[in-house]
């Protein structure tokens, strides 16, 4: 197993270039493709941090920053825990701390940029099943029997529902945790619906680093895909949140986005 240094996604073997980074949504460094291993990352001092974000929700990050620097989320439930999105490093200490929070029932990737070292984590957590959107299966660079594909909305454990909305990737997904935010509901938006730094609005993009937008129709479709859900809070996968009234904030943000790409506000430019 080898890891792309740029996106921190595991590969079964070294290839000329990481397909995820060569895609227009990501990038290959100017000096070319780079690879690393878990052993090299450990020697460089990388460690997994696990922090409680709210009751029964934990953020998992790697420090120093690795790859694109995402934050995974672990939802703790009576039926087993769910890790939504994954980071690109694991060691025995990290796996032990996650196991101490309870059995992991599922590992879910919202989209290919978030695969991380999902197979390595699965093995460290007793071969926990990995759920990958069927529409994005082609991007899996390290196949494994633990990987299962899905497309229709389903409860991965009672109270945690996965929905494939598309947009950023055809299989881009979100997770709805009904008991989160003190019963108000939490949406884990990944890159599908990403919180803005102002903490009161969200955005939607085909590529965030390369600034490629989505169409008005797609943004409306993605937003309509979550409007039937109750969620007061939204977490994206880089540590940003909309702390309250998130469902209304997503609709308001979508309407603003649609107005701008439609030309409603051209008089302001």
Rounded mean pLDDT, 215-237: 98
* Nearest by Cα to 147 from 195, 86, 189, 206: 86
Q: How confident is residue 248, by pLDDT bands cut at 50, 70 and 90?
A: very high
Rounded mean pLDDT, 49-64: 98
Residues above pLDDT 90, as percent of the chain = 100
Mean confidence (pLDDT) of the chain = 98
Residues above pLDDT 70, as percent of the chain = 100
C-alpha 122/C-alpha 54 separation (Å) is: 24
pLDDT score for 154: 94
Rounded mean pLDDT, 233-237: 98
Rounded mean pLDDT, 22-46: 98
C-alpha 88/C-alpha 166 separation (Å) is: 23
Q: How confident is residue 206, by pLDDT bands cut at 50, 70 and 90?
A: very high
pLDDT score for 62: 98
pLDDT score for 215: 98
Considering only the top CATH level, what class is 2-31+47-268? alpha beta
Rounded mean pLDDT, 192-206: 98
pLDDT score for 90: 98
Rounded mean pLDDT, 232-246: 98
Which residue shows structure tokens 């008089």?
A: 267
**Residue ranges covered by each domain of the chain:** 2-31+47-268
pTM for the model stands at 0.97
Longest pairwise C-alpha distance within the chain: 58
DSSP 60-79: EEEES--TT---EEEE--TT
For 113-154, how does the pLDDT look when each residue is reduced to its tens digit (9 = 90+)? 999 999 999 999 999 999 999 999 999 999 999 999 999 999
pLDDT score for 183: 98
């Amino acid at each position: 197993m080898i890891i792309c240094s740029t996106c921190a996604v595991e590969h079964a073997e070294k290839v000329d270039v990481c397909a995820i980074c060569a895609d227009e949504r990501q990038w290959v460094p100017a000096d070319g493709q780079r690879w690393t291993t878990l052993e090299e990352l450990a020697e460089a001092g990388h460690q997994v941090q696990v922090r409680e974000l709210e009751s029964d929700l934990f953020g998992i990050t790697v420090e120093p920053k690795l790859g694109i620097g995402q934050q995974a989320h672990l939802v703790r439930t009576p039926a087993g825990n769910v890790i939504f999105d994954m980071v690109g490093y694991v060691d025995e200490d990290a796996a032990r701390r996650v196991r101490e929070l309870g059995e992991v029932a599922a590992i879910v990737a919202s989209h290919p940029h978030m695969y991380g070292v999902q197979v390595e984590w699965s093995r460290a957590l007793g071969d926990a099943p990995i759920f990958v959107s069927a529409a994005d299966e082609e991007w899996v660079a390290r196949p494994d029997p633990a990987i299962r594909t899905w497309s229709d909305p389903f409860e991965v454990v009672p109270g945690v529902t996965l929905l494939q909305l598309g947009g950023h990737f055809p299989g881009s997904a979100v997770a709805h945790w009904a008991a989160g935010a003190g019963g108000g509901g939490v949406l884990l938006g990944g890159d599908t619906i990403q919180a803005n730094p102002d903490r009161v609005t969200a955005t939607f993009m085909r590529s965030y680093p390369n600034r490629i937008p989505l169409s008005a129709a797609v943004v409306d479709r993605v937003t309509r895909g979550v409007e039937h859900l109750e969620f007061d809070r939204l977490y994206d996968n880089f540590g940003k949140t909309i702390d309250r009234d998130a469902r209304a904030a997503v609709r308001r943000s979508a309407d603003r986005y649609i107005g701008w790409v439609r030309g409603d506000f051209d008089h302001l430019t």
